[in-house]
Amino acid sequence: MLAIFAFAMLKYFTLCYSIVHILIGADGFWLTEPMIATPLGNIIGSLMYSASGRRFQSFRGIPYALPPIGKLRFKEPVYVGRWGNGTLDASKEGPTCIQYDSFFTKMIRGKEDCLKLNIYTHSLKPEKLRSVMVWIHGGAFMMGSGNGDTDFYGPEYLLDKDIVLVTINYRLDIFGFISTEDSEAPGNYGLLDQATALKWVHNNIRYFGGDPNSVTIFGQSAGGASVEFQMLSPYSKGLFHRAIAQSGSSMCPWSLMTNVGNYTKQLAKGLNCRTKPSYKMLRCLRSKNAREILNYRKKMKVFKNFSYPLAFGPRIDIERKIPFISHHPKLLIERKQFNHVPYITGATANEAGFIVAAMMAKGRKPLEEFRDNPSKFVRYSLTYEYREDGERLADHVVHEHLNASKPLNKQLVQIEQMLSDVNFFKCIDDSADLFRRYSEQSTYHYHYTHRTHYSLSQFIGAPLDIDFGIGHADELVIMFPNMLFTSLTSYEDITASQALVGLWTSFAAKGVPRSDLVPTWLPMTAEKRYYLNFNSRNHRLEDGAPPYKDRLSILNQVLTYPIS
């Protein structure tokens, strides 16, 4: 009888184990939405699959700071760890930060309560904690998010590798970068949000299988510039260990602004707020509805078909007790006052191709707007609209690049080169040159020349019979599946994706970018420059600087930096 009972119990427990084994994979993940207990509180995630079919968990919309609303609007973020006694539903993405999307939808979207992050991980309790990659999204500091379902940054390609991926949202435009240029509102709140998210990752990522001592920050465009700002800031010291900046630098004219105070006053006047004293102006602006603020922001646009002026972005906030950016980046790098970590920086071959594509879209009206006053467009690109010599300097740039006797529709290549030089190549090249000479860690440089099957220029409605080159953000197509390009369809794109993801994730793990699909990539030295020409048909390590270098002498008297 006892034997029969024992056999029955064995069958019962075997059945229970089988059920549990079905519900839980070999890696310990529930196949349904699990509730997991962490020191932060209980949390519900969701199951996802990588591009190659690997199962992983996602925990999305996790708050890392208090909602920046009411009295916390235009204030430093307030860090939060625990989310309370209740269970956090992290099975879906949180909202984007409130923004006026002037490039794609031409709509206001998002919420102010947006300081949240997304975590994607293979195992909550791996045998060895895994390297962490924290993505900082781009969007000119005025639009975008770190989301995948509702934005551009799905995790499926990167999660083919053994990493933990984190994507973050941070305050944008007016809400992230307003400044009274005094201690009442020094600005840079969006950058402080990023640093606060990094602090959260440092403190808590081990609960999700990530190694807090192996964190890589990476980003594109404004996200790339943000990566450099985090390298330069004392607020982020010790919170990351490697960095990758794609198509962005802290020294680009659009990434370090001197006009934020002027635009803040313009905004206040437009919303019937007094501009002095600063605390009364801020009190008035805090009383306004967020959509009311952004509706006026739309009226500040100088060019009908473009985002200019950017108006609100990072600045040297010397008025803050501990500045986020105390001096110009060039001076900080030359003085070695930055976080010395292995660093990758680079750009696409035709960065401003997407701008020219936008000019050629929608009946060519944007091109006509540019044709009427190209110097004005360049002046705003340089953020020299308030400089007395701004018009003269912009005229010089246009004169050196464009032929006044030829129609602009016959000079698309020259327009692209001019705007690429002004907005991207000059500042990125200068930054790479400075870090290779002053960093105590390796600095790698790349030039992205792989032509993807899909391009940003196609999405914005540009003519399909015009070649706009390898433009800004084109590499994102092979890094992240998204709502527009859900999967790669060509062999060349698939192999390029495998190569780039391999380089980035190996760099995140060991500080050295390696892939079997790419030749050995050497870092630059103080004496010698190298760059990786990234092209799936023929990846090459090249001596010297990328091919645009010869043109940059035109800008040496226009884009000037402080003397050491």
Identify whether the C-beta of residue 448 lies closer than 8 Å to the C-beta of residue 349.
Answer: yes
Can 351 be counted among the known catalytic residues?
Answer: yes
Handedness of CA 102, 108, 109, 112 (dihedral sign): positive
Identify whether the C-beta of residue 99 lies closer than 8 Å to the C-beta of residue 173.
Answer: yes
DSSP code, position 414 = H
CA distance 433 to 445: 9
DSSP letters along 17-74, please?
Answer: HHHHHHHB-TTS-BSS--EEEETTEEEE-EEEE-TTS-EEEEEEEEESB----GGGTT
Helix runs in 208-314, H state only: 222-232, 260-270, 278-287, 290-299
Contacts of 109 (CB under 8 A, 6+ apart): 96, 98, 99, 101
CA distance 336 to 204: 30
Active-site pick, 102, 221, 307, 442: 221
Can 472 be counted among the known catalytic residues?
Answer: yes
* E strand segments, 318-454: 343-348, 443-448
Instruction: Kindly provide the b/e burial profile for residues 59-83, where b requires at least 16 CB atoms within 10 angstroms of the residue's own CB.
Output: bbbbbbbebbeeebbbebbeebeeb
Contacts of 170 (CB under 8 A, 6+ apart): 97, 115, 136, 176, 190, 191, 193, 194, 197
Exposed (0-12), middle (13-18) or buried (19+): which is 19, by Cβ within 10 Å? exposed
Active-site pick, 351, 385, 416, 475: 351
Give the bridge partners for 218, in sequence order. 135, 244
Both tokens assigned to 322:
């501990």
Dihedral of the alpha carbons of 349, 145, 444, 438, in degrees to the nearest 10: 120
- CA angle (474 as vertex; 470, 475 as ends), nearest 5: 110
Q: How many C-beta neighbours within 10 Å does residue 439 have?
A: 21
Residue with tokens 């006694």: 85
CA distance 144 to 99: 8
Can 221 be counted among the known catalytic residues?
Answer: yes
Exposure of 361 in the CB half-sphere (CA atoms within 13 A): 18
DSSP letters along 167-217, please?
Answer: EE----HHHHH---SSTT----HHHHHHHHHHHHHHHHGGGGTEEEEEEEE
CA distance 481 to 167: 14
Active-site pick, 202, 472, 475, 539: 472
Report which of 56, 306, 320 is spatially closest to residue 180, judged by C-alpha positions: 320
Q: How many C-beta neighbours within 10 Å does residue 185 have?
A: 25
Residue with tokens 């509730």: 35
Amino acid letter, 134: V
Residues marked as catalytic = 221, 351, 472
